Amino acid sequence: MKNTDITVVTGAGGFIGGHLTAALVQEGRHVRAVDLKPLDDWYQVLPGVENLQRDLQDADACREVSAGSSEIYNLAADMGGMGFIENNKALCMLSVLVSTHMLVAAREAGTDRFFYSSSACVYAADKQTTSDNPGLSENDAYPAMPEDGYGWEKLFSERMCRHFREDFGLTARVARYHNVYGPLGTYDGGREKAPAAMCRKVIAAKLSGCREIEIWGDGEQTRSFMYIDDCVQGTRRIMESEITEPINLGSDEMVTINQLVSIAEEIAGITLKRKYNLDAPLGVRGRSSDNTLIRELMGWAPSTSLAEGLEHTYKWIYDEMVAGRNRYVHS
């Protein structure tokens, strides 16, 4: 570690970045938290942290925030749920500027370790055409056929991390996140993920007395969802590991969207009439994480059940909606 021992978190104003920053602060780390958004729009602003608003599409800004760093967690990206990803492909791909400039800045700063948050969206579409997907293993990313826009940017940035490691000796680690959810996250406005969206819809139905819920697609598409605490713990473990290739970081508890709604209904104590919107953005038919490799290499894998994690998430969103707060609603 450098004498300054600064840990940089980019995208720190976001959902995962905020939770990661909080965990690092609890460890006693000197954290430099960076995000494009004004501080008032950050999900968490923590005391004792060097909080910076910077546009990391700019190379000089990346050099500034990387100076003196021993570790960099690069979580910065323009992203959201499937509705956002499918309708903002160019914006998603522009995140490659952040990925590129942060790698260059890390090399110039002599940073010891660099973490890149990739996504399950890098996986080939032809491996995700059925709802009974057995789980995506790390080698299913090639031959390349990722999610258009967002997935291509993530896959390209993964390769950059690999070649910066091979050519320049930068210790780079890459995790492929699978659908992260939990409290202190977006639950409305178009960028929210399915668990938060379903909690919001069920809560709205309960509060309004309108016993109906809209579900995108037929509800039989499958996913796995990782609770934020597992995501943060896995991120830290992967950063500190000697795993050089991209690795899955996600739950292998695969459920249908209909099952996700049923869990939220059970938490709320209501049953809703389901209205299926077959014209809404759907993404792939089936996606889940194969955790064989992470168990083999680390002896660990995300373990929070969807029922447990969703209950925490539901209660937090419920309190926010009842109180009329909208700080975490981002358009």
- Helices 95-109, 59-66: axis angle to 10 degrees equals 40
Confidence check: pLDDT of 145 > 50: yes
Confidence bin at 284 (pLDDT 50/70/90):
confident
Q: Look up tokens 């925030």; give the residue.
A: 65
Contact at 8 Å (CB) between 194 and 310?
no
Q: Output the pLDDT for position 324.
A: 85
Whether 142 is a known active-site residue: answer: no
Confidence check: pLDDT of 331 > 50: no
Query: What superfamily does domain 183-224+253-292+305-323 belong to in CATH?
Result: UDP-galactose 4-epimerase, domain 1 (3.90.25.10)
Q: Considering only CA atoms, which of 295, 327, 290 is closest in space to residue 44?
A: 327
Number of other residues whose CB lies within 10 A of the CB of residue 51? 18
Q: Considering only CA atoms, which of 328, 301, 171 is closest in space to residue 243?
A: 171
Q: Output the pLDDT for position 189.
A: 84
pLDDT digits (tens, 9 = 90+) for 294-313: 999 999 999 999 999 999 99
pLDDT digits (tens, 9 = 90+) for 17-42: 999 999 999 999 999 999 999 999 99
Q: Output the pLDDT for position 283.
A: 80
Pair type for strands 212-216 and 273-277: parallel
Confidence bin at 6 (pLDDT 50/70/90):
very high
Average pLDDT for 123-128: 95
CA distance 305 to 79: 25
Q: List the single range of 72-86, 104-118, 140-154, 317-331 with lowest mean pLDDT.
A: 317-331
Confidence check: pLDDT of 4 > 80: no
Confidence bin at 133 (pLDDT 50/70/90):
confident
Domain ranges in the chain? 6-180+225-249, 183-224+253-292+305-323
pLDDT digits (tens, 9 = 90+) for 179-230: 999 999 999 987 888 999 999 999 999 999 999 999 999 999 999 999 999 9
Confidence bin at 329 (pLDDT 50/70/90):
low
CA distance 77 to 10: 9
Catalytic pick among 43, 116, 123, 150: 150
Which architecture characterizes domain 6-180+225-249 according to CATH? 3-Layer(aba) Sandwich (3.40)
Q: What is the 3-state secondary structure (H, E, C) of 15-69?
A: HHHHHHHHHHHHCCCEEEEEECCCHHHCCCCCCCCEEEECCCCCHHHHHHHHCCE
Confidence check: pLDDT of 327 > 90: no
Contacts with 191 (C-beta within 8 Å, 6 or more apart), sequence order: 79, 80, 81, 84, 330, 331
Instruction: Show the DSSP H helices in 209-275 as ranges.
Output: 228-240, 257-268
pLDDT digits (tens, 9 = 90+) for 65-90: 999 999 999 999 987 777 788 889 99
Instruction: Show the DSSP H helices in the chain as ranges.
Output: 15-26, 59-66, 82-87, 89-93, 95-109, 150-168, 194-208, 228-240, 257-268, 292-298, 306-323
Contact at 8 Å (CB) between 214 and 261?
no
Per the document, the length of the chain is 331
